[in-house]
Amino acid sequence: MRSLKELFHSRYVLAILSVLLTLAVVAGCSMPGANAPAAAAPLPTYAPGITPAATSAAENGSPIGTPAATKSGDGAAIPDAPATTEETATLSETVATAPASGRYSAEIVADQQVVVAAQIGGTALEVLVDVGDEVKTGDVLARIDSTALEAQRAQAMASMEAAKSQLDLLTDPAKEQDLAAARAAVDAAGAAYVRATNGPTDEERRLALAQLKSAEAAVTVAQAGYNRVKGDPMIGMLPQSLQLQQATLGQEAAQAQYDKLMKGATADQVAGAYAQLANARAGLQRLQDGAKPAQVHAAEAQLSAAENALYLAQLQLNKATITAPMDGVVSKLQMVAGALAAPGAPVLTLLSNDVRVTIAVEETRLPQLKIGQPAIIRTEAYPGRTFAGAVAIIAPELDPTTRTVQVTIRPADNDAGLLNPGMSATAELVAQ
């Protein structure tokens, strides 16, 4: 058994249907010719580029493109002039070739965006720009402490100067005074070697013997003076005692020198004298012959390495000064003076003055796209204003997910910078 609610609902629906049926019968009886069955009027159909009037004319037997006949004051139909064959063909061609148009949602973005980062670590001494500042390529944006880098550059400069001096010494011809000094060194080393191999001369022996006898005589005199006071209890404090000691030491030194001279040079001493002579002769020969090609090449390599080290030190020093890589405007600051910068840490963000709009166009419109194709840009910031643009880039491939191609539009004129990055916009491609 149905509930009370369901019963009420069904009776309500039946009552409405009865009222509607009654109204339809009354309306049919009051219309002229109600007894004659009227054919249902067909709904108007529309085709792209064809007006409803043209459609009605086609349904009445007139060709598409023929204007419908107008009526005179008494209701008689006054036929208009029929369309020519050329007009009908032109209208059909226009309808067939007119491309569909549409607007695409987009966003104004900067043509280039660069995050300027620190290339070296250190304390930021100063930041010379602020958000909104216009900069040119090469303008100084910030400076980082470069004390240690300047010291490294100075050290590299000193190394380069030393390497250059060494190369100059090898390549410059020997001077006469340098040759004279080298010859004197050879003579001295030769005499020392002769003495070492031949032993002392008669003169050297007589001189050593005389020194020994003089030292012995001094001991005899000092001993006599000491004997006169040796009974004194304070003998150790008297000068005669000190004189005897000094004379005795002098005699021992003279005796050792005499013995050494009479013994002659040892084999090691002879070898050492010969080595000194050989070195002196080689030094003289180098001055006379000049540097060898291998020595010059080695000196040149050392100079080149020193120059490269100086270049690298200068590069590091230059990185302490942060400059603008392009023309643009500062959109964001990420470092302040006094902060510690790390290599790669962002300092600020630059946006180029040029902007662009990128839209995703469906693949069905790909054949209609052309570089330079006009476009119309509209923004919410300026609702009553349009900006002319042109297609600058058509991506070489489509997105396989959305089956769309990325099309980049650049404004023809930014009208004093009214189009700013971040604005929401719509872009409409103009058919050509």
Predicted confidence (pLDDT) per residue in 198-251, tens digit: 877 788 888 988 999 999 999 999 998 888 888 888 887 888 888 989 999 999
pLDDT at res. 203: 84
Per the structure, the count of domains in the chain is: 3
Name which residue leads in pLDDT, 414 or 41. Answer: 414
* Domain contains 201: no
CA distance 370 to 390: 9
Both 386 and 332 in one domain: the answer is: no
25 domain-assigned: yes
pLDDT value at 109 more than 80: yes
Predicted TM-score (pTM) of this structure: 0.52
Q: Are residues 360 and 425 in the same domain?
A: yes
Containing structural domain, residue 326: 113-145+320-349
Mean pLDDT confidence for 44-66? 36
382 with 344, same domain: the answer is no
For the stretch 299-315, pLDDT in tens is 999 999 999 999 999 99
pLDDT-derived band at 287, boundaries 50, 70, 90: confident
Residues 390-400 have a mean pLDDT of 94
Which helix H or strand E contains 213, and what residues bound it?
A: helix 202-229
CATH number of the domain that residue 358 is part of: 2.40.30.170
Claim to verify: residue 338 and residue 362 sit in the same structural domain: no
Instruction: Specify if 398 maps to a domain.
Output: yes
Residue-wise pLDDT for 12-37, tens only, equals: 556 676 667 666 554 554 444 444 43
> pLDDT tens digits, residue range 75-92?
333 344 344 444 433 333
Work out the average pLDDT over 127-138. 94
Helix/strand/coil percent split, the chain, to 5? 50, 20, 30
> Given this model, what pLDDT does residue 415 score?
67
Over residues 110-114, the mean pLDDT reads 92
Q: The dihedral of CA 219, 221, 222, 228: what is its sign?
A: positive
Residue 291 lies in a domain: no
The reply to whether 378 falls in a domain is yes
Which CATH number belongs to the domain containing residue 124 in this structure?
Answer: 2.40.50.100
**Residue 122: pLDDT band by 50, 70, 90 thresholds?**
very high
CA distance 414 to 174: 73
Domain-embedded: residue 334: yes
Compute the distance between CA of residue 90 and CA of residue 85 in angstroms, rounded to an integer. Answer: 9
- Residue that wins the pLDDT comparison between 393 and 57: 393
Any domain includes 402:
yes
Has residue 134 been placed in a domain?
Answer: yes
